[in-house]
Amino acid sequence: MSNQPQFITLIDIECISTDDLTGDDQLIGRFGNLQGAEFSIGQFNSNPGNKKALGIEKIVPVSITTLQIIEQDTTGDDLVGTINLTENMDVENEVTLSNDSAAYILRYMVVSGGN
């Protein structure tokens, strides 16, 4: 087994609270700090039972070891949390991501690959 992450699958996400006080949060994923290495996760609100199956599968760019979860805004993006892609590879993981106002529970799996 290698220590290089090769693929990530975002399994599902539950919104506990949103970053936006009015309206829904628009979440994106960004590999490392790479502009242009972003993908949409979806739009979320904190209504009870707001858990969504995602099934998002992405190739992890070479030498990238983190995935940032960002709440995208016209007034400036907000970092909700960062996942270390090299920890607990090849098993399903659950992490709580939060900032000052937003909180999400994300289930995901990172698959390791060649160097």
Kindly report, residue by residue over 1-34, the tens digit of the pLDDT.
457 999 999 999 999 988 767 678 899 999 997 7
pLDDT, averaged across the chain:
89
Among 104, 114, 111, smallest CA distance to 25 is for 104
* Residue 24 near residue 18 (C-beta atoms within 8 A): yes
Q: Which domains does the chain have, with CATH numbers?
A: 4-113 (2.60.40.150)
- pLDDT, one tens digit per residue, over 28-77 is 999 997 778 799 999 988 776 689 999 999 999 988 999 999 998 877 78
**pTM, full prediction:** 0.90
Q: Please name the helix (run of DSSP H) or strand (run of DSSP E) that holds residue 109, with its range, or none.
A: strand 103-113
